[in-house]
Amino acid sequence: MSKKYLYKAVRSGVFAALLCISSFLVIPIGAVPVTMTVLTIMLCGVILTPFEAFCATAVYVLMGAIGFPVFSGGSGGIGALVGITGGYIWSYPFMAFVVSSCCQIKVDKKPIKYIFAFLGCLCGLLICYFFGTLQYIVVAATNINTALYVCVLPFIPIDIIKAVCSLFIGIPIKKYLK
């Protein structure tokens, strides 16, 4: 294995580990808790390449699927993936891939780079909200209005703050790692 591939594997592994750690930082506000996982996924997307970001988050999901207690509040196993918040977890690899893809757009001016990265984070959040809300509707046997009030609206301000934080932390780190 060449140094280049080993470096990419290590970067992905580090972010998979950070995802495991960040999921333990939980604020229970109802059926869907606030975790730092979404911030870490956005950081993963901002810093890593799309393939690395997808792999890091997929490893995290697989670790939880086989039973490691890496999901919100120390849960794990298939039960967490098919529960009311499982849709969010399923979305993580796609969310990271989209955020990273938007951050790969080459621009000369620094403000434009931040705008593309922020738009990528917003697109990633839309994916997360879509999968999370859809599974919540199915598992909780509720309607879309109730699901939006539980799964999306309370999180928009918090997630926008997380997106901005991921930019101001991630973009300088990405520059340093090159």
| Cβ–Cβ under 8 Å, residues 51 and 104 | no
Confidence (pLDDT) at 78: 95
Confidence (pLDDT) at 76: 93
Confidence (pLDDT) at 22: 93
pTM as predicted = 0.93
Run means of pLDDT, 10 residues per run, the chain, 178 residues: 85 95 87 90 96 97 96 91 95 98 87 93 97 97 95 95 96 86
Q: What is the CA radius of gyration of the chain?
A: 16
| Cβ–Cβ under 8 Å, residues 89 and 64 | yes
| Cβ–Cβ under 8 Å, residues 151 and 129 | yes
**Residue 35 DSSP label:** E
**Residue 56 DSSP label:** H
Confidence (pLDDT) at 95: 98
* Three-state DSSP state, 142: coil
d(CA 75, CA 55) in angstroms, rounded, equals 21
| Cβ–Cβ under 8 Å, residues 48 and 55 | no
Q: Please, which contacts does 166-170 make with residues 24 or more away whose CB atoms are closer than 8 Å?
A: 166/39, 166/42, 166/43, 166/45, 166/46, 166/117, 166/121, 167/46, 167/114, 167/117, 167/118, 167/121, 169/43, 170/42, 170/43, 170/46, 170/47, 170/117
